[in-house]
Amino acid sequence: MNAVDRDLGKSNDLAVLHYGDGEFVMLKPGRYVLCAVTGEKISLDALRYWNPIHQEAYAGPAEALQRWRELNP
């Protein structure tokens, strides 16, 4: 590992994903995504909730429900 590799690892922590039905595809490697409701970092290992239509990730079921209610008044 050289200095460039170390810098890339730090700047690429935020992943870019394409959310599908029941799965996601990594478009840009990273360690986490941001919750669309709270802005909280969500580790890719812990990511369980997202909306494929709006391409948003949620930290948990409460955030997913909150966003669903916002989108479906």
Q: Give yes or no for residue 4 having a pLDDT over 80.
A: no
Residue 8 host element (H or E): helix 3-11
Pairing outcome for strands 49-51 and 41-43: unpaired
Task: Report how far residue 28's alpha carbon sits from residue 61's, in angstroms, rounded to the nearest whole number.
Answer: 25
- Global pTM reads 0.80
pLDDT over threshold 50, residue 31: yes
Q: How many domains does the chain have?
A: 1
The span from the CA of 52 to the CA of 23, in Å, is: 9
The residue range of the domain holding 28 is 3-71
**40-55 pLDDT per residue, tens:** 999 999 999 999 999 9
